[in-house]
């Protein structure tokens, strides 16, 4: 069974601009980042014939070539030991050219390095070009510690109609739960508590079990699934759990393996609280709309993300942002006052855009299998874009 490890890595200008894409913690071009640390940890794995695709994702197309050159330098010391390929922004443009040359302009929108979901879709498309049976998704802020990680990733996938395997993250302290102190303003927005509650299934038998959550940086996806199910480009974050629901709603078995772990060592997030809240507000409003439309039971997403998908979602959004507004007033931060108030107003916008975004996603979903079939039929020419 041929598996390919796919690693997206996010990079930003030294001085970010307003039109740059927003990610949790992109690495500045004047820093080395975490990718080299992850690649060095490949030596822990028992397998010697590893296939790895690094996908470099700039926050702005204007730095696409600079990012490519930076990543080429980072991966160079490891190429002698592993089959490491690099897909960069210039390669994406070449991909677009080849698709247009073949007269398949309708597929251009599926090929993007903008936003988490589009990048995750490239983590499915590129292994498919290389005839992978399984795509193993890893993030660049992680390190391998388990020599049997690949073996465990592939142990059950493809058997008994299991086409998705989810692992979990070990935090810096060695456990899987978040240890951050609960902040008083989270009385109605306790995302950390809801996640920790969901994570409790990790300790319980059996080894493989149904799960309401997955981690985008530790999942194995079989070709039978990724050729039929895509990530949703219209969800701002939480694309991994949304993908899980997409797969389950189509009848796929996507299970958590409580023996499959990877160490997660993310840098400190750079985005202000009001922006994180805004992204989550849009995400949960859209996801709730999708689940109701698809008929996927919200109870199956409990306790996380289901805590944010019930009828109380709008109350949680309003009261939490009012609390944060008052906190900003007490601190004299007038700019934040208006940002948190705007989060409340945006509820109406996000409710309206949810329907149109869902409609666009359904059109994409209906064409995804045809697109992946076309990829398979044109592998010989498309292989040239993966350097």
Q: How high is the pLDDT of residue 334?
A: 94
CA angle 223, 225, 226 (to 5 degrees): 65
C-alpha span between 112 and 115 (Å, rounded): 8
The yes-or-no verdict on residue 386 having pLDDT over 80 is yes
Q: Which residue has the tokens 């079989």?
A: 222
Whole-prediction pTM value?
0.96
Distance of CA 112 to the CA centre of its chain: 14
Structural tokens at position 268: 């400190």
DSSP reduced 3-state for 134: strand
* Range 252-276 average pLDDT: 94
Q: What percent of the chain has pLDDT over 90?
A: 94
Q: Tell whether omega for the bond before 84 is within 30 degrees of 0, i.e. cis.
A: no
User: Could you tell me the pLDDT band of residue 244, with boundaries at 50, 70 and 90?
Assistant: very high
C-alpha span between 146 and 151 (Å, rounded): 10
| pLDDT tens-digit readout, 321-380 | 999 999 999 999 999 999 999 999 999 999 999 999 999 999 999 999 999 999 999 999
* Range 287-307 average pLDDT: 95
| pLDDT tens-digit readout, 32-48 | 999 999 999 999 999 98
Q: How high is the pLDDT of residue 18?
A: 87
Residue 343: closest CA among 298, 268, 285: 285
Q: How high is the pLDDT of residue 180?
A: 76
Kindly report the average pLDDT of the chain as a whole number: 96
Instruction: Identify the structural domains of the chain with CATH numbers, from first to last.
Output: 3-270+367-385 (3.90.550.10)
The yes-or-no verdict on residue 387 having pLDDT over 80 is no
Q: How high is the pLDDT of residue 269?
A: 79
- DSSP H or E stretch at residue 11: strand 3-12
Q: How high is the pLDDT of residue 34?
A: 97
The yes-or-no verdict on residue 181 having pLDDT over 80 is no
* Range 263-276 average pLDDT: 92
| pLDDT tens-digit readout, 182-221 | 789 999 999 999 999 999 999 999 999 999 999 999 999 9
Q: How high is the pLDDT of residue 270?
A: 79
Q: How high is the pLDDT of residue 344?
A: 98
The yes-or-no verdict on residue 311 having pLDDT over 90 is yes
| pLDDT tens-digit readout, 110-145 | 999 999 999 999 999 999 999 999 999 999 999 999
Q: How high is the pLDDT of residue 182?
A: 79
Q: Tell whether omega for the bond before 305 is within 30 degrees of 0, i.e. cis.
A: yes
**CB under 8 Å to 190, separation ≥6 — which residues?**
182, 307
Question: Are 144 and 41 spatial neighbours (Cβ–Cβ below 8 Å)?
Answer: yes
C-alpha span between 266 and 324 (Å, rounded): 26
């Amino acid at each position: 069974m041929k598996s390919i490890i796919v690693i997206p890595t996010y990079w930003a200008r030294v001085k970010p601009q307003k039109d740059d894409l927003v990610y949790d913690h992109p690495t500045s071009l004047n820093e080395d980042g975490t990718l080299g640390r992850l690649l060095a940890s490949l030596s822990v794995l028992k397998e010697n014939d590893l296939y790895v695709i690094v996908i470099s994702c700039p926050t702005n197309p204007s730095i696409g070539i600079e990012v490519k050159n930076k990543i080429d330098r980072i991966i160079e010391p490891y190429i002698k030991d592993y089959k490491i390929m690099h897909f960069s922004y210039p390669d994406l443009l070449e991909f677009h050219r080849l698709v247009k040359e073949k007269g398949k302009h309708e597929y251009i929108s599926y090929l993007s390095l903008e936003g988490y979901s589009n990048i995750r879709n490239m983590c499915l498309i590129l292994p498919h070009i290389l005839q992978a049976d399984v795509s193993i998704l890893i993030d660049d802020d992680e390190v391998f510690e388990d020599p049997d990680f690949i073996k465990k990733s592939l142990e059950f996938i493809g058997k008994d109609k299991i086409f998705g395997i989810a692992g979990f993250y070990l935090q810096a302290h060695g456990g899987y739960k978040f240890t951050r102190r609960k902040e008083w303003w989270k009385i109605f927005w306790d995302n950390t508590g809801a996640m920790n509650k969901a994570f409790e299934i990790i300790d319980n038998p059996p080894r493989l079990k149904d799960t309401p959550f997955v981690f985008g940086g530790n999942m194995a996806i079989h070709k039978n699934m990724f050729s039929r199910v895509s990530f949703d480009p219209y969800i701002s974050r939480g694309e991994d759990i949304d993908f899980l629901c997409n797969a389950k709603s189509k009848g796929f078995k996507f299970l958590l393996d409580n023996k499959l772990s990877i160490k997660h060592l993310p840098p400190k997030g750079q985005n202000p609280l009001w922006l994180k809240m805004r992204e989550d507000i849009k995400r949960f409003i859209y996801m709730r709309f999708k689940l109701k439309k698809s008929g996927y039971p919200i109870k199956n997403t409990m306790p996380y993300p289901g805590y944010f998908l019930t009828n109380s979602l709008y109350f949680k959004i309003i009261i939490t942002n009012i609390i944060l507004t008052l906190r900003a007033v007490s601190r004299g931060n007038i700019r934040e006052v208006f940002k948190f108030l705007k989060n409340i107003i945006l509820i109406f916008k996000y409710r309206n855009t949810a329907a149109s975004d869902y409609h666009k996603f359904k059109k994409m979903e209906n064409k995804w299998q045809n697109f992946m079939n076309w990829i398979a039929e044109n592998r010989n020419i498309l292989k040239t874009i993966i350097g």
